């Protein structure tokens, strides 16, 4: 294959150049290093066989196909095997003439004429054609190229690319010594027992697990060309020493890029916000409750960051109902006391509106002006709000993604708060931050999430952030009983709703999630509202969904909060930001369609008052294994952190973080559940390299991130 063709293969596979294909690693392997005699083949097993074509013919029933019979030799008593090609070219028919020797690889199945293969890998060979010396790699592919084309391109990459070590000897020695190994040239070998370092000498090593980490070049050779005696299961489950080395190098690149991004932010200037002039005391004195210890601790961590002359980049995470909004309100007071402005961004209008109402309730008595900015805001009201924000008359602007649109400008944006940050892409967060950077000062940034982040994710994808955790709920929150029921008991649930709501309590009815179309989901909500209104005429039943006008949604939510509506039929717009203490029952229809984070968020809308609260999860007949798992997890766990850990196991980091939608780069090889020790070692090495050998860090990043630092920058 010409180099130009290899470059084309690389680009089609998503790489910048052919040399990058060294990291296009196999997903599985074929053992073509030996032949199985035809007489020894077993059903259901992948084998490689060789034989002479005895007969070949095209059959038209039950469909057009090429049926070929081969024999071990020309001897009459020789063992035979058939194979079928369901899709074939005329050239193959003319090629497969009696007497031609072919080599096949595939699964042996029972067929009409005995043992057969269907569409095996096939090639014409001579009697003494040598067998491969190593296992044959099977690579992730695209439709345009065959496995042979990709294999040839990878071979060119291995010949052209620089496979030398990026890591210095002192780091490699520490990695090897930690496992009782010493380096020999470009490879590694097991130390003799009398050469093993004493226990106290090994304690300073990066790794505590018993890995043999080979050189980078040896690791690539072991993965692209495994020896015939290699453990196929270990290779395909990515647990061999070669895989450990590749995973370590990938994690190290991630840690280096994130820490570099954090250091680059530390070069930026921000307004130092050292105090709030007593505003916190005034706000807290007006509240009927005190901060929890976890809220107070998180606030202290945030305030320390705000006092620095560099932009804060902190994530505040806490479970549903842990009091993040109050901490956010207390966070923005130093900015207001210094004469700055604050932008508070939320992913949905209903959440933005709830935040706006809460912020206005708390901040207006302190003499602060709070405005709401959303796409639904039109005409004179919108123009007036934007003009007052631009003039600096609005102290706090609360809104959706409309906040970072071109028509919005701030006089002195000092702090940005992003709620449910995982729903926004990196570019959106950067756009909002840049609103305040025109004057050379970068706004401080506080991100909030009610989806707790497991430790492994915090150590990896959020390594460039400072993280505060509110790990306790305010006193008075009642436990929520979660029950799982089949949808066929829906009528029974509706019947009990009447008595429940007539007792003075209120309830939510969350409609089925319809992924295909927002219009279908809206129709499902409207149909549920009509049906429940007919079945329960004694109750006042409201409806809220994302397609309603802002003022309509606000009116319905206000009536529900005032107790005028007994039952609120809703879509997932109530997932976050809704706080009605008297609502103690939630029914979620077709709960198997929802993700764990959504179910936990929805369930968190109840349990906010003195009543015992219940969440009923109704599931349909077509319950998949993953749906069954999600319902089991949400029923068994009330702790958001435990649910997040289970969610990460089910979905992987890309789906968990919404990273596939927001442009964040996903780890290709490392597994955050099983490779925590490698991650910890990578964190230690990254810090050491950036402090003492920054040129080594640059060299390592150039190999793994040739297009630049495309991990999180915001």
Q: Could you give all domains of the chain from N- to C-terminal order, each with its CATH number?
A: 34-131 (2.40.50.140), 160-231 (no CATH), 279-470 (3.40.50.300), 480-637 (3.40.50.300)
- Tokens standing for 214? 């080979």
Q: Which residues of the chain have pLDDT under 70?
A: 1-4, 176-212, 376, 421-440, 476, 513-522, 575-577, 653-666, 706-714
Distance CA 702, CA 23 (A): 13
Distance CA 43, CA 162 (A): 45
DSSP E strands, 420-465: 444-449
pLDDT in tens, 89-137: 888 888 999 999 999 999 999 988 788 999 999 999 998 899 999 999 9
CA angle, residues 60, 63, 65, in degrees to nearest 5: 70
Q: What is the pLDDT of residue 585?
A: 94
Q: What is the pLDDT of residue 422?
A: 56
pLDDT in tens, 388-423: 999 999 999 999 888 877 788 899 999 999 887 655
Q: What is the pLDDT of residue 510?
A: 92
Q: What is the pLDDT of residue 440?
A: 66
Q: What is the pLDDT of residue 360?
A: 94
Residue 688: which of 174, 201, 165 has the closest Cα? 174
- Tokens standing for 567? 């039952």
Report percent pLDDT > 90 for the chain: 49
Residue 635 CA from chain centroid, whole number: 23
CA angle, residues 433, 438, 441, in degrees to nearest 5: 70
103: Cβ contacts below 8 Å, ≥ 6 apart: 35, 48, 49, 50, 122, 123, 124, 125, 129
Q: At what angle do helices 241-266 and 676-692 cross, to 10 degrees?
A: 50
- The residues with which 469 forms a beta bridge, in sequence order, are 317
404: Cβ contacts below 8 Å, ≥ 6 apart: 345, 428, 431, 432, 435
Coil, strand or helix: which one is 611? coil
Task: Find the helix or strand (DSSP H, E) in which 159 lies.
Answer: helix 147-160
Q: What is the pLDDT of residue 536?
A: 94
Distance CA 109, CA 117 (A): 6
Distance CA 36, CA 49 (A): 5
Distance CA 228, CA 48 (A): 14
Torsion (CA) 355, 360, 366, 368 in degrees, nearest 10: 100
Q: Is the dihedral of CA 546, 550, 552, 555 positive or negative?
A: positive
Contact status, residue 18 vs residue 7, Cβ threshold 8 Å = yes
Mark out the alpha helices in 286-323 (DSSP H runs).
293-306
Q: What is the pLDDT of residue 516?
A: 47
- Tokens standing for 705? 């991130």
Q: What is the pLDDT of residue 252?
A: 94
Q: What is the pLDDT of residue 186?
A: 42
């Amino acid at each position: 294959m010409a180099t130009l063709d290899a470059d084309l293969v690389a680009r089609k596979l998503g790489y910048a150049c052919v040399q990058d294909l060294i990291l296009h690693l196999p997903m599985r392997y074929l053992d073509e290093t030996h032949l199985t005699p035809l007489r020894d083949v077993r059903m259901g097993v992948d084998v490689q066989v060789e034989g002479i074509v005895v007969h070949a013919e095209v059959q038209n029933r039950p469909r057009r196909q090429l049926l070929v019979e081969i024999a071990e030799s020309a001897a009459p008593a020789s063992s035979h095997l058939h194979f079928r090609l369901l899709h074939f070219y005329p050239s193959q028919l003319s090629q497969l003439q009696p007497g031609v020797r072919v080599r096949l690889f595939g699964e042996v199945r029972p067929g009409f004429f005995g043992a057969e293969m269907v569409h095996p890998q096939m090639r014409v060979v001579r009697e003494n054609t040598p067998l491969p010396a190593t296992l044959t790699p099977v690579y992730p592919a695209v439709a345009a190229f065959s496995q042979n084309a990709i294999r040839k391109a990878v071979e060119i990459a291995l010949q052209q690319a620089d496979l030398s070590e990026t890591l210095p000897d002192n780091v490699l020695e520490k990695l090897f010594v930690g496992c009782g190994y010493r380096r020999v040239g470009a490879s590694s070998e097991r130390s003799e027992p009398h050469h093993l370092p004493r226990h106290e000498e090994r304690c300073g090593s990066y790794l505590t697990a018993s890995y043999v980490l080979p050189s980078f070049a040896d690791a690539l050779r072991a993965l692209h060309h495994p020896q015939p005696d290699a453990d196929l299961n270990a290779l395909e489950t990515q647990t061999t020493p070669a895989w450990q080395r590749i995973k370590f190098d990938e994690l190290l690149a991630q840690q280096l890029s994130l820490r570099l991004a954090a250091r680059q932010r530390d070069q930026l200037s921000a307004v130092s916000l050292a105090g709030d002039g007593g505003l916190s005391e005034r706000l807290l004195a007006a509240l009927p409750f005190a901060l929890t210890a976890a809220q107070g601790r998180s606030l202290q961590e945030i305030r320390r960051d705000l006092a620095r002359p560099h932009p804060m980049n902190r994530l505040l995470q806490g479970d549903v109902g842990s009091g993040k909004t109050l901490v956010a309100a207390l966070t923005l007071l130093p900015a207001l006391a210094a004469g700055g402005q604050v932008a508070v961004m939320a992913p949905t209008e209903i959440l933005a509106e709830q935040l706006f109402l809460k912020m206005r309730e708390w901040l207006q008595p302190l003499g602060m002006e709070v405005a709401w900015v959303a796409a639904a805001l039109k005409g004179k009201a919108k123009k007036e709000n934007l003009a007052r924000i631009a003039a600096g008359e609005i102290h706090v602007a609360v809104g959706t993604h409309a906040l970072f649109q071109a028509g919005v400008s701030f006089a002195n944006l000092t702090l940005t708060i992003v709620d449910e940050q995982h729903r926004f892409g990196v570019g959106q967060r950067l756009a909002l931050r840049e609103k305040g950077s025109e004057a050379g000062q970068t706004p401080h940034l506080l991100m909030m999430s009610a989806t707790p982040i497991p430790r492994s994710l915090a150590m990896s994808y959020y390594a460039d952030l400072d993280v505060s955790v509110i790990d306790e709920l305010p006193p008075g929150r009642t436990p929520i009983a979660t029950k799982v029921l089949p949808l066929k008991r829906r009528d029974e649930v509706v019947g009990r709703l009447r008595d429940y709501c007539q007792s003075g309590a209120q309830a939510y009815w969350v409609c089925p999630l319809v992924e295909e179309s927002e219009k279908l989901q809206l129709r499902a909500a409207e149909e549920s509202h009509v049906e429940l209104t007919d079945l329960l005429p004694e109750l006042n039943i409201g409806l809220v969904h994302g397609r309603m006008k802002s003022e309509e949604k606000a009116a319905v939510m206000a009536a529900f909060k005032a107790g005028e509506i007994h039952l609120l039929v809703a879509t997932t717009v109530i997932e976050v930001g809704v706080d009605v203490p008297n609502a103690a029952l939630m029914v979620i229809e077709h709960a198997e369609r929802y993700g764990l984070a959504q179910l936990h968020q929805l369930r968190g809308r109840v349990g906010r008052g003195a009543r015992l609260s219940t969440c009923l999860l109704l599931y349909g007949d077509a319950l998949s294994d993953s749906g069954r798992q999600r319902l089991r997890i949400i029923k068994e766990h009330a702790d958001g952190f435990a649910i997040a850990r289970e969610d990460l196991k089910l979905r992987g980091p890309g789906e968990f973080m919404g990273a596939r939608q927001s442009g964040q780069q996903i780890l290709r090889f490392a597994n955050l559940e099983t490779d925590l020790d490698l991650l910890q070692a990578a964190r230690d090495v990254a810090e050491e390299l950036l402090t003492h050998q920054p040129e080594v860090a640059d060299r390592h990043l150039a190999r793994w991130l040739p297009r630049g630092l495309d991990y999180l920058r915001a």
